[in-house]
Amino acid sequence: MRYQRAWRGRLPASNAFAMAVAISLIPLSSVAHASAAGTPSAKRSGSGPAGAGAGAASGVTAAGELSAVTVTASKRDQPLATLNGAAVVVEQPALDDAQVANTLDLARVLPGVQITSGGSMLFPMIGLRGISSAQDFYNPALTVYVDGVPQLPTFSSQTLLSVDRVELLKGPQGTLYGKSAEGGVLNIVTLPPDNTPRVHLRAGVSSRGGNVEQAEVAGPLVKDLLYGAVSLAHVDAPGDLRNPASGANHQGGSRSFAGSAKLRLAPSGAPWEVNVSVGRDCAKATQDIYVPFDDIGSRTADIDPRLPAQYAESYMRRCGNSYALSGRYDFGQWRLSAISAWQTVDIERRFPFLQYFSQQPEDWRQNVQELRLATHAPGRRWDAVFGLYRQDVHQSRTYVNDMVIPSVVNLSTTASSNESKSLAAYGDVTWHVTDALDLSAGLRASRDQAWTQFAGAAMASASTYAPFAGVSGTAGNRILGKVSAGYQIDPAWRVYANVSQGYKPGGFNLAPSSLADAQAYGPERAVSYELGARYDGRSLRGSVALYRIDIRNAQLYSSDSLGYQSLRNVGDTRSTGVEFGVEWGIARGWTAGLDGFVNHATFRSYTDPFGCATCSGNDVPFAPRYGFTLNVGGEVPTMVGTVRPRVAVRWLGAQHFDVANKLRQGGYALVDASLGWRPRRDVELTLYAQNLTNRDYRTYAFRAPTGNLAQVGLGRTVGVTVAFDY
């Protein structure tokens, strides 16, 4: 039971795709008639991303005009064109066009954002403006939210269900969101059920035996009173690595089953509503697999081929449950909102590494409450949002590390428990000085507490073990501020400036391995300065932003021994750069977008006693020097239906994976393309290719006792999907 054989990550091809094709092509004139403009079906095929940099085609009218965009991640409904900061909004049709099935896929549609996994989907590395969560997997620099609820760090990589849009606020968002928002905030907004019946079915197959099946049904349970929605998804995405010890292929992938259900009580004409939602997402994966740094083209895992079968395969199973109860009440020009949410994540994880075998099960529990009061009326002289926030997170973990060759010997075992609590009050006020000039100021006061308790033993000699244990706690108060100004030069042009703060609280290493982990590290603090301009015309939308982010007491892993690292404050960093985005409604049904950034992130000082003495001035890891994305998409009416060609080219500059700047990935380009055919307004068949040129590139790397190892990006993937909307 302890070393049961791992799942190989491959299933027989699903029959759901063929069934969906047959069903969707049945003549249903009433359905086609119902899918007129303004229905969910029409929306799915006609809108996309916009903002400070836009990805693939945005919403475009028959006259080639771009549609207006609203953002809610600022915790009150606000037109994107009036936001005093850089932001991106990607609507659901653009997600489907890019075959975005989970949060890791969002890198294909979010300009300037790098998203990949740090060896495992449990640890997504999200980078933005030279700030990355790769330095601490458990305490990200950019937090993922779903309908305003923060997701546990090991649950940030999850299947997307019933998504309406994805909103990204760039730069520190500490006053509104508190901790772990130095790089920004990613808020996933789902579709609420209402009086409109809605059905979405989608199925497809792809390279290496991959397949996807998705179904969403929503509508009124009691007209004008009670509404419901159910979403289900199965995504099988095999990898393309080979395990030399077991002989298994298609390693490095994952298979997930996810579902959610919602109830919305909103009497017609009433000023209030109540929402209840539940969800579950279970994933199995063959990950934690690495290849030799200098031989990534072989796609062969660096695992000792002598490993016995029971130790030769990777296995990970993660199941997350989410529950939320929310409500709102409108009175006068104000809206009072409340939410209480709970989340649990249970993880079973084991994998071979060189001649070793590691087991690392974890359990997570989180509960969050927020009470918010915000203005909710146009034409006010001032707008504001005020709130109270509470978050409680508990994690328990077991770590067992065995040497398997030449004989099975336990090297170390650790059991740990960690808890953190956050309490905060915040406010943000915007004064509309004139019709053109806005001034804003925000403030957040928070208290963060953390506790750790662990015990374990490590081999000291061939026959003895050295025990270690630790119990400790830490607490701190933090005041964060933000000021901004925006000026509307004319109906199309707006300029803005802002200064904002962010932080990551002090705490403890959540993967303790020695007595040193009982010592707390201090908080990491960030200050951002941003100057930007935005143009919002009828057929052209663009933006540009200059920024500088200074981080003091950066939190990084520190040690001279792999597997026995501790989090420490190692120095200061500075990230400076410029980013831009242009989106153009070329003609009827056609759009083009160009986004880019140039960034320079370095260590201004580096004081890690176990690190290199000359690291000051080095590049910050996982911070590419530049990145550009070109997107072109359109709709071509034909006698047999509408044809929708799309192509996206993403260039990413060179980056380092270590503070010593010895492990480097050069610049590379990825090409994605798709061709959709819509024989009817409610049916679409899409052929797509990701990484069309089959480019080999590294996404993560580190030094190991036997040499440098890397994680390699997925090779060419070709697939076809069929979707039906009502």
Rounded distance, CA 670 to CA 690, Å? 8
Is residue 303 classed as helix, strand or coil in its secondary structure?
A: strand
Q: Which stretches of 413-564 are DSSP H helices?
A: none
Helix (H) or strand (E) holding 43: helix 40-44
Is position 5 within any domain?
no
Query: Is the per-residue pLDDT at 56 higher than 50?
Result: no
CATH number of the domain within which 368 lies: 2.40.170.20
Rounded to 5°, the CA angle 681-683-687 comes to: 120
Write down the pLDDT at residue 55.
38
Is position 3 within any domain?
no
* Average pLDDT estimate for 437-455: 96
Is position 330 within any domain?
yes
Rounded to 5°, the CA angle 262-153-263 comes to: 5
Write down the pLDDT at residue 562.
53
Rounded distance, CA 655 to CA 645, Å? 32
Rounded distance, CA 549 to CA 133, Å? 15
Least confident of 256-265, 278-287, 302-311: 302-311
Q: Which domain holds residue 454?
A: 16-725
Contact 598, 578 (CB under 8 A): yes
Write down the pLDDT at residue 424.
97
Write down the pLDDT at residue 446.
96
Rounded distance, CA 254 to CA 492, Å? 45
Nearest to 646 by CA among 69, 95, 38, 67: 95
What percent of the chain lies above the pLDDT cut of 70? 89
Write down the pLDDT at residue 66.
57
Query: Is the per-residue pLDDT at 362 higher than 70?
Result: yes
Count of domains forming the chain: 1
Is position 401 within any domain?
yes
For the chain, the helix, strand and coil percentages under 3-state DSSP, each to the nearest 5: 10, 60, 35
Higher pLDDT: 609 or 265? It is 265
Query: Is the per-residue pLDDT at 7 higher than 90?
Result: no
Is position 8 within any domain?
no
Contact 7, 351 (CB under 8 A): no
Query: Is the per-residue pLDDT at 116 higher than 90?
Result: no
pLDDT in tens, 474-526: 999 999 999 999 999 999 999 999 999 999 999 999 988 888 889 999 999 99
Average confidence score pLDDT of the chain: 88
**For residue 593, what are its two tokens?**
């977008």
Write down the pLDDT at residue 49.
52
Q: Which stretches of 254-367 are DSSP H helices?
A: none
Q: Which residue has the tokens 């153009």?
A: 584
Write down the pLDDT at residue 463.
82
**What is the C-alpha R_g of the chain?**
25
Is position 9 within any domain?
no
pLDDT in tens, 587-607: 888 999 999 999 999 999 998
Is residue 95 classed as helix, strand or coil in its secondary structure?
A: helix
Omega cis (within 30) before 406: yes
**Predicted confidence band at 118 (pLDDT cuts at 50, 70, 90)?**
confident
* Average pLDDT estimate for 349-376: 95
pLDDT in tens, 10-35: 333 444 444 343 433 333 333 333 33
Is position 10 within any domain?
no
Is position 687 within any domain?
yes
* Average pLDDT estimate for 46-74: 55
